Structure formats: structure tokens, C-alpha cells
Amino acid sequence: MTFLAAARNDVDAAVAFHGADTEKYLGEARNISAPVLMHLAGEDEFMPAQARHAITATLSEMPIAQVFTYEGCQHAFARHNGLHFNAKAAAMANRRTHTFLTAMLQTYPKPGVASSGTGSIC
């Protein structure tokens, strides 16, 4: 899970689509030091509304986190050719992700840190 990777590791940025079960680990949110972007489906059959609200409430208190809910969308709305693919929502999520990663990683590699050619993105 992206949320746990960000909470338990030193990453530069984290982007999560469909953060099912994240609500079980919200107590670890205080450990996140990197910017986080999360995309949630408003009608995700694998994430009860109560869980989605808990995730949104917790992360909205963190200035380094952004959460977007795509109302009317079901789980895997951004999976091309998937059963619940929603082209409009997927394009919006992809644009937001591109903008976020461009802004957050524009200085990668960090000064004084050797690069292995891969960013620490989850």
C-alpha cells in the first residue's frame, strides 16, 4: 500500500489510487514526511463511505497531503479497459498526478544525494 510505504519509509512523494484499507492504518499518518496525493472513487465497492471519510478527514489535516474523491466512480475507475473505467475521471486523476509529481520531484535528485537513476516514488 502506498500509504504504508510513505508512513514507514523515506520516500520523496507518494501517489495512491484506490486506497482501500488505508483507514486501518491512519494512526501512522503522523509518520508521513513526504507529500502524498490520494485518488479515491466515490462509489468504491471495496471502501465503505465511512472509511473514505476517515481517510479524507485525517489527510486533510496534513498540509503535505491532498485527497481527491471522484464522485460517482467505482473501484479502478482509472484502469484503462477495466470494467469501471471512467475516461473523464481517469484523465483528471492522471493530470493531477502529473502536476503533483512534476512539482514534488522537480529537484530530484536532491543536492548531495547520489541518484541510482530511479526516484523513490511509491
Could you confirm whether 84 is annotated as catalytic? no
Per the listing, cell 543536492 goes with 111
Cell of 54: 476517515
How far, in Å, CA of 19 to CA of 39, rounded? 8
Question: 21 an active-site residue?
Answer: no
Q: Which of 75, 80, 84, 98 is catalytic?
A: 75
Burial label for 25, CB within 10 Å (0-12, 13-18, 19+), is middle
- Find cell 482509472 and name the residue: 78
The rounded distance, in Å, linking the Cα atoms of 7 and 80 is 29
Which candidate in 21, 39, 44, 80 is catalytic? Answer: 44
- Euclidean distance between CA atoms 57 and 113, whole angstroms: 35
Active site residue ranges: 44, 75
